[in-house]
Structure 1
Amino acid sequence: MHTWHWQTWDNLPYLTCSLLEPWHHGFFTSAFSPRPPDQIVEALQPEATVYRVRQVHGNTVLTPSEFITIGAVGQGENQTPEKPAADGIFTEKPQQAVWVCTADCTPVLIGDEKTGRVAAIHAGWRGTATRIVPNTIARFLEVGSRLENLRVAMGPAIAPEVYQVSETVAIEVGSTIIPKDKTNTPESILDELQQLPHSPIFDDPHPGRVRLDVRRVNAIQLEQLGLDHEQVAIASHCTYQQPEYFFSYRRTQQKNVQWSGIVSK
């Protein structure tokens, strides 16, 4: 079993995962707010170069060198370079610290044990519905990574028992893990999802609503790619139910975020 550990830096708590032990990484709590990644990185690797994106709930995954080619540069002197729109960052060199922020969505950190490359992903329901995590795995494979060398940790996110969504949302997300010949009607998709082992769909008392386990859908996507369950770790922490540690947009309707980051080797 993979274990999750509380660490402290500057007397502030953050989580690490045993699966990602080879890398400096952390799933940071709300206690670090309002510090940005270029300050929080001191807890991991002060010499690392920080990269973050403008998250848009999509499935685009960029490398640091692609930040420049898409025009993510400043508009003049003394201006901060504009961050590119994306929801995943994939490293190319050692000492690159990649970061995503979340407030109920799933932060996903991935490392390749052989190459040292890493990725950070923001996987909300929209990103999951458009397969952002498999998209990121594809980027690893494009540069020679092998599936068996990848390690994936999903950090604190909203848990299914408190994550009510419309059946429409559940179907959009869930159709990514159902065979195409079983997705001819919304009802058939929901039925297939509910029959899965460790189903990501739970009943809700309100008509037209269900409870959704986004992290479980991502885990099934990874299983279907060929990753073994031992290569994937999922935190038991819920952003909604643990206000002492995490911001939750669903709980407060406020746009506060916590950061998750990992440094390439």
Structure 2
Amino acid sequence: MRDDLTKTWQWQSAEGLPYLTCSLLEQWPHGFFTQPFYPRTPEDLSKILEPSADVYRVKQVHGNRVLSPDEIRQELPQEGFPSADGIVTNLQKQSIWVASADCTPVLIGDAVTGNIAAVHAGWRGTAKRIVPEAIARLQTWGSEMENLRIAMGPAISGEVYQVSDEVAGEVVASLFQKEQIDSLQGILNPLKKIANPPILPDPEPGKVRLDVRRINQLQLEQLGIKAQQISIAPYCTYQSPSHFFSHRRSPERKVQWSGIVRI
């Protein structure tokens, strides 16, 4: 599996610095940029992907709000960058960006319409189904599920991400209808037993290890998206200090940026 992912994910170089691309998104200029690019902004980084593109970003708040560039522009005069955690666009030469450290950056492209999305999916946003929200917006512009290509960038891996049972339960609940939830352990235990489980044991009582990217993958599969349409970067932000910032590893509030351009 890791060999397949290594072929799907490629290291690129810009100005001697490394960033990642995913072959699923090869028809769009895109990049998951690394910490050596800090403190450069999306306005600067976008020039690496498409110098003439207009750049859009939001104030990320760990929610499930998704905006278009038009909506971002409408709110800019009042409050600076509007609060949201996803951006979608169906217009050419628009570059959309999200920031992350341990949270999951998700870039999405529609191979037929060319429309794109960029999503910041931490555990709170994942619990609120931020990625399906972004896909729902793409569907209003004619996207079909089988045409989507989804790349989840570097994030903290499940093997090291310790959370409380309660946090894990809140995230896992996003995979169930309310009437299916009988108890906390009633939803956690079944997911410990599936292939590539998103819930892993932890030696500390009341704690588990949580794979947020795997939860997002399961949400997508529930929508009918096939496994071959999704790729998860084989890199952990916590375990790769030379390439990625990690808020769990360090108190520094620094981030890396991920972006994609509609061409």
Task: Name the TM tier (shorter chain).
Answer: over 0.9
In 2: Cα distance, 1:65 partner to 1:169 partner: 34
SS in 1 for 2:258: strand
In 2: Cα distance, 1:82 partner to 1:156 partner: 28
Tell me if structure 2 keeps the 8 A contact 1:182–1:192.
Answer: no
Q: 1:46 matched to which residue of 2?
A: 51
Per the alignment, do residues 180 and 195 of structure 1 end up closer, same or farther by CA in structure 2, a change over 3 Å counting? farther
Q: How does 1:1-265 map to 2 (within 5 A)?
A: 1=4, 3-69=8-74, 71-73=75-77, 82-265=80-263
In 1: Cα distance, 2:227 partner to 2:70 partner: 32
In 1: Cα distance, 2:73 partner to 2:102 partner: 30
Tell me if structure 1 keeps the 8 A contact 2:90–2:141.
Answer: no
In 1: Cα distance, 2:137 partner to 2:76 partner: 21
How many residues are aligned here?
258
Q: Which runs of 5+ in 1 are unaligned?
A: 75-80
In 1: Cα distance, 2:175 partner to 2:13 partner: 37
In 1: Cα distance, 2:197 partner to 2:191 partner: 6
**Superposed displacement of residue 183, structure 1:** 1.1
| Residues 87-131 of structure 1: per-residue CA shift (max 9 Å, x gap) | 000013011000000010000000011111111000000000000
Q: Which runs of 5+ in 2 are unaligned?
A: none
List, as ranges, runs of 4+ consecutive aligned residues in structure 1 with deviation greater than 6 Å: none
Tell me if structure 2 keeps the 8 A contact 1:60–1:86.
Answer: yes
In 1: Cα distance, 2:193 partner to 2:179 partner: 16
| TM-score, normalised by the number of residues in structure 2 | 0.95
| Residues 52-88 of structure 1: per-residue CA shift (max 9 Å, x gap) | 000000000000111133x3216xxxxxx70000000
SS in 2 for 1:6: strand
| Residues 3-52 of structure 1: per-residue CA shift (max 9 Å, x gap) | 10000001010000010000000000001000001111111001111000
Aligned partner letter, 1:51: Y
Percent identical pairs in the alignment equals: 56
